[in-house]
A and B are shown apart, each in its own frame.
Chain A
């Protein structure tokens, strides 16, 4: 069983620069067809300050650090035994190339189903931009498959 005492554990703030090239790469990898996600000239013509970050781009912020799976290591979870169970985004404001984001995260909940065969961990993050405006919140929940360990 995962250590429930880690519920609420918070992690140091991560500062993330939203770079144009990174957005272009992300748009390519996710096969975006709308140029507002990769063409700055087009984005500006359409009233945006720069290239717009797509809805799921914030996932990159958590990975862009030395130890992206630190919370899993803290829980003693082997990365090969986890699956992404669910993902939630609440959006308050748009994110553009040139923004600098600050992400604050904590372990939200730890719970189990099927008599402990499946354990769930949620990781809750808040994102603010350089104007200190809260732009988004996310909840990422992973599931640990315990059956193979028994």
Chain B
């Protein structure tokens, strides 16, 4: 679908992510500079009361970002928010989804309001978010 054709209620194509692995978390720690050991050191995670390391929330949010930028040019994305609902664990299989919930048209600028969610393979919500996209109405 062309980006200008999105209507209220339309969903963007969902993005499926490979199972979360320890090496994914180690690579993200290196790339982001977030070396909080709760994401890479199982001994530290256990001392902190968890049964294992957990994924960086920002890694999950980065996957979600890609679900949006797969459809809309990044420069059209004016706001992007996430609430981290539950922990993402090793081997979780995530799916990123988004839906247009409102549209405003003003001075030939079309504003799309998206509701976003990341779920695991059991349907448990990991993250809920929103985005505001601004398109020039042709």
Which A residues form the contact surface with B (CB < 8 A)?
Answer: 22, 25-26, 28-34, 52, 54-56, 59-60, 63-64, 68, 79-81, 83-91, 94, 148
Contacts and interface: CB of A to CB of B under 8 A. Distances in A.
Contact of B82 (A63, A68, A87): A87
Nearest to B66: A32
Contacts of B48: 80-81
Interface string B74-85: 110111111110
CB-based closest 4 A-B pairs? A63-B33, A80-B48, A29-B31, A84-B57
Interface residues of B, number: 41
B84 A85 contact: yes
Contacts of A31: 17-18, 63, 66
Contacts of A68: 33-34
B79 A89 contact: yes
A30 B59 contact: yes
Interface of B: 17-18, 24, 27-28, 30-38, 44, 47-49, 56-59, 61-63, 65-66, 68-70, 74-75, 77-84, 87
Given A86-B82, A86-B83, A87-B57, A55 B30 contact: no
Contacts of A22: 31
Contacts, number: 106
A79 B75 contact: no
A80 B47 contact: yes
B32 A55 contact: no
Given A29-B30, A30-B65, A80-B37, 11 more contacts: A28-B27, A28-B31, A30-B63, A32-B66, A34-B66, A63-B35, A83-B87, A84-B56, A87-B81, A87-B84, A94-B74
B62 A30 contact: yes
Given A54-B74, A64-B33, A87-B57, A30 B28 contact: yes
Contacts of A84: 56-58, 84
Contacts of A30: 28, 31, 59, 62-63, 65-66
B79 A90 contact: yes
23 contacts: A25-B30, A29-B24, A29-B59, A30-B59, A30-B66, A31-B66, A33-B70, A34-B70, A54-B66, A55-B69, A55-B74, A56-B65, A63-B32, A80-B48, A84-B57, A84-B58, A85-B83, A86-B81, A86-B83, A87-B82, A90-B78, A91-B79, A94-B74
Contacts of A54: 62, 65-66, 69, 74
A109 B21 CA distance: 34
Nearest to B84: A84
